[in-house]
Structure 1
Amino acid sequence: MKTIDKTKTFDAVKMMREVRNKIGSETQNMTYSELKKYIEKQMKESKLKPIGK
Structure 2
Amino acid sequence: METKIEKKFDAVKFAREQKDRLDEMFSKMTKEEILEYLKTKSIERGRVKPSA
TM-score interval for Structure 1 and Structure 2 normalised by the shorter chain: 0.5 to 0.7
Percent identity of paired positions between Structure 1 and Structure 2: 28
The alignment yields a C-alpha RMSD, in angstroms, of 1.7
Superposition TM-score, scaled by structure 2 size = 0.67
Q: Give the number of equivalent residue pairs.
A: 46
Residue correspondence of structure 1 range 7-18 to structure 2 within 5 A: 7-18=6-17
2:31 — aligned with what? 32
Structure 1: runs of 5+ lacking an equivalent: 1-5
Structure 2: runs of 5+ lacking an equivalent: none
Q: Quick one: distance in 2 between partners of 1:42 and 1:13?
A: 23
Q: 3-state DSSP class of the match of 2:16?
A: helix
Larger radius of gyration: 1
